[in-house]
Structure 1
Amino acid sequence: MARARNRIAGVISVFGELLITAGLVLGLFVAYSLWWTNVLADRAAGRDGNQVRDNWAAQGPGALDTKDGIGFLHVPAMGDDEILVKKGTDSETLNNGVAGYYTAPIKSALPQDKQGNFTLAAHRDGHGAKFHNIHKLKSGDPIVFESKDTWFVYKVYKTLPETTKYNVDVLQPVPKESGKKQPGRYITLTTCTPMYTSDYRYIVWGELSRTEKVDANRTPPAELR
């Protein structure tokens, strides 16, 4: 009887040790996913962002796009960090701590286009988590895109806190789901929701309010001061 109890106690002890080990492994994985990937992504985005600004300083007037990124997104309601914007929304691009503009399933317009929808995606958690605070955006809040020679100032007019990940209509040139019916110059931010999942998508729509030329000192518009 005592021997059987000892065997049971031994099994329980081994099982407990396995649970502790599994918990430690899980904790390390969470730390990697939610902290270390942010560190690596921010480093990569910082290098690429510096390269973009170096290119701007070295080049005369020219095309908006560059191989390193097209400019920087500034969203005061989400925080003070500038967000480098690159082409594409694949994981290889977004995992480097940037926002990417869509090339598919519906091709994004670019800010300088006379009309269309500038559609962007970024991670909400891990890999830089650039859209982590997207839920803080409210109607009237500014979203500013900085290119080499122009500030594009958008104002939020509608949010959609949850929609299916398959809802590509939010990316249409005229985002009718946001209430718009006529062509204009729109911006759409998309990311995963709820936090720490990828089950649904959170959407924010804005409309171009005005543009400002970048001066020699790159003085930001009033919305960023």
Structure 2
Amino acid sequence: MSVRLIVRTFSEFCITVGALIVLFVVYVLFWTGVRAAGAAEDQIGTLRDQWTRGKASASGAPVPSVPAGPSSSPTAAPEPAPAASYRDGKPFAMLYIPRFGKGWEWPVLENTEAGTLQTGIGHYSGTARLGERGNFALAGHRRTYGDPFKDFPKLRPGDAVLLTDGTTWFTYRVDKKPYRTVPSDIGVIDPVPRKSGFDGPGRYLTLTTCEPEWGSSHRLIAWAYLDATQPVTDGRPAAFHS
């Protein structure tokens, strides 16, 4: 085999590999986002249709007299009435984080499996229900599939995290800047999340995503506490503008 043939064959191989790399980058950076946006819109449409028909799987009655602050005593407010279980892989709430932009909204679905996180934000099965005592824990992609938590490091103490189940608005407040840990640190989603600084039972929210931005060797965690609730009939909470 001549040197010229070897060089030409190697050059063609490099061009082919380069083209495949470009296609892969386009898929990761663009196409997964397009698919996620379409899937999320479908989930949002499903939720709104359910709520319009009055058939939403509500997370329970509004929590009355929620005390402001990072923790509350076990008798601070009565528990919501029992409600139907969240349906595996199905949407049950909407999540809004004003810090991430005016139009930022994502559906929340039950479980954190790979397929679920490609269509929205996942709820860790077995953690508290929305608004209930304990730790309502969620996970979302930092990058790819719509980049929902791309701006996660921008979260600051006092930032509002708002959720609705179609009947009630729940306003949580971020307690401190995001915390970096490893994937095996499952204590971050305990009922009283470990290392959160919360010192007793309360109604908490945990947000989790990958760290670094394009990797998964670590996790970023943000903890929040339930600050207020109100019926959806009262309109959007003022926290949307805070």
Q: Is the TM value for this pair above 0.5?
A: yes
* Aligned twin of 2:130: 111
- The partner residue of 1:145 within 163, 170, 194 is 163
Listed as ranges, the gaps of 5+ residues in structure 2 are 60-84
Contact 2:131 2:203 in 1 (8 A): no
* Aligned twin of 1:46: 41
Contact 2:153 2:178 in 1 (8 A): no
CA deviation map 1:135-169 (0-9, x unaligned)? 11111111111121111111111234421111101
Q: Does 1:181 align with 2:199?
A: yes
Change (3 A) 1:224 1:24: same
- Higher CA-based Rg: 1
- The partner residue of 1:94 within 117, 138, 143 is 117
Q: Does 1:23 align with 2:18?
A: yes
Task: Work out the number of aligned pairs and report it.
Answer: 213
Instruction: Give the C-alpha shift of residue 192 in structure 1.
Output: 0.7
Contact 1:89 1:121 in 2 (8 A): yes
- One-letter amino acid matched to 1:139: P
1:51 and 1:116 map into 2 onto residues whose CA distance is 28
Instruction: Give the C-alpha shift of residue 12 in structure 1.
Output: 2.5
Instruction: Give the C-alpha shift of residue 62 in structure 1.
Output: 6.1
1:52 and 1:211 map into 2 onto residues whose CA distance is 20
- Percent of residue pairs bearing the same amino acid type: 36
* Aligned twin of 1:37: 32
CA deviation map 1:20-41 (0-9, x unaligned)? 2211101111111221011111
1:169 and 1:62 map into 2 onto residues whose CA distance is 28
Instruction: Give the C-alpha shift of residue 60 in structure 1.
Output: 6.2
Change (3 A) 1:50 1:163: same
Pairwise CA RMSD: 1.9
* Aligned twin of 1:58: 53
2:57 and 2:179 map into 1 onto residues whose CA distance is 38
**TM-score, normalising length: structure 1:** 0.88
- The partner residue of 1:123 within 141, 152, 162 is 141
Q: Does 1:77 align with 2:137?
A: no
2:220 and 2:209 map into 1 onto residues whose CA distance is 5
1:221 and 1:160 map into 2 onto residues whose CA distance is 24
For residue 161 of structure 2, give the secondary structure of its aligned residue in structure 1. Answer: strand
Change (3 A) 1:26 1:81: same
**TM-score, normalising length: structure 2:** 0.82
